[in-house]
Amino acid sequence: MLGEVRGLVPTAQTSWMTEREELAIALRAAGARSPDPPLEPSFTALATDAEPPAVDSVEIRRVETFEDFLVGLEIELASSSWTEDAAARRRAEAEDIYARRRSRPGGEWLACLAGKPVAWGSAIAGPRGLYLAGGATLPEARGRGAYRALIRARWDDAVRRGTPGLVVGAQETSRPILEQCGFVRVATMYELETDPC
């Protein structure tokens, strides 16, 4: 199977996600590898249709400009273990990433403490709810409710769309917070990548 996909577009990097551990093992044996940091080779799929708690001490604003997008990008890069090369690639691709994200349904938000952006979150809208497509909080601002406030902002957006539900693929750093906000585990997922031939 891996060879067939590589044969279709040999110059493409491909990502594989499955809840079947035996398939992940077979893909790894065929040449797939763990994703680059900050992603982990496994994550937890979670979902909720319950209203998460509000966080009054955090100001939320929607990302509406490229400048706000860049603020969110820097929060994302500063909050995880990105390699220097990967961070440089993200910065170099910022305009293209911004254009792609603006063209899809959903949005991005910044969470601010005392007027300073300290956390960022993204979501993609679907027919039944929002997929939480990323979130990050600056290390010095953790534990003050910014991430939880971003969960609530995206919930509010889902409700406005008439699709009150959220799903997410969570790394271990965010899974406990999501569970405290009412998310339930759906499955353990495995993610692998293959490099271009």
CATH number at residue 120: 3.40.630.30
pLDDT tens for each residue of 21-74:
998 888 888 888 888 888 888 899 999 999 999 999 999 999 999 999 999 999
Give pLDDT, residue 13.
Answer: 73
State the pLDDT at residue 38. 82
> Which stretches of the chain drop beneath a pLDDT of 70?
1-12, 197
Any domain includes 65? yes
Pairing label, strands 14-18, 130-137: unpaired
Contacts of 144 (CB under 8 A, 6+ apart): 57, 58, 113, 118
In a domain, 79, yes or no: yes
Phi, psi of 32 (to 5 degrees): -75, 160
Token pair 């979670």 is found at 46
30 in a structural domain: no
- Residue 75 has a pLDDT of 98
Instruction: Specify if 131 maps to a domain.
Output: yes
pLDDT of residue 157: 97
Which helix (DSSP H) or strand (DSSP E) does residue 104 occupy? none
- Please say whether the beta carbons of 46 and 168 come within 8 A: yes
Q: Residue 121 falls within a domain, yes or no?
A: yes
Give residue 133's pLDDT.
95
Give me the pLDDT at residue 28, please: 87
Q: Residue 60: name the closest of 123, 108, 103 by CA.
A: 108
Residue 26 lies in a domain: no
pLDDT attached to residue 1: 57
DSSP strands (E only) in the chain: 14-18, 42-48, 59-62, 106-113, 116-125, 130-137, 166-170, 184-194
User: Distance between CA 56 and CA 156 in Å, rounded?
Assistant: 14
Q: Which of 54, 59, 72 is nearest to 133 (CA)?
A: 72
User: For residue 105, what are the domain limits?
Assistant: 50-164
Cα–Cα–Cα angle for 167, 169, 170, nearest 5°? 115
pTM more than 0.85: yes
Cα 105 to the center of its chain, rounded Å: 15
Taking phi over 0 as left and psi of -120 to 50 as alpha, with beta for the rest, 122 belongs to beta
Query: Is 32 part of a structural domain of the chain?
Result: no
Please give the pLDDT value at position 15.
81
Residue 191 lies in a domain: no
Query: What pLDDT is attached to residue 3?
Result: 63
Query: How many domains does the structure of the chain reveal?
Result: 1
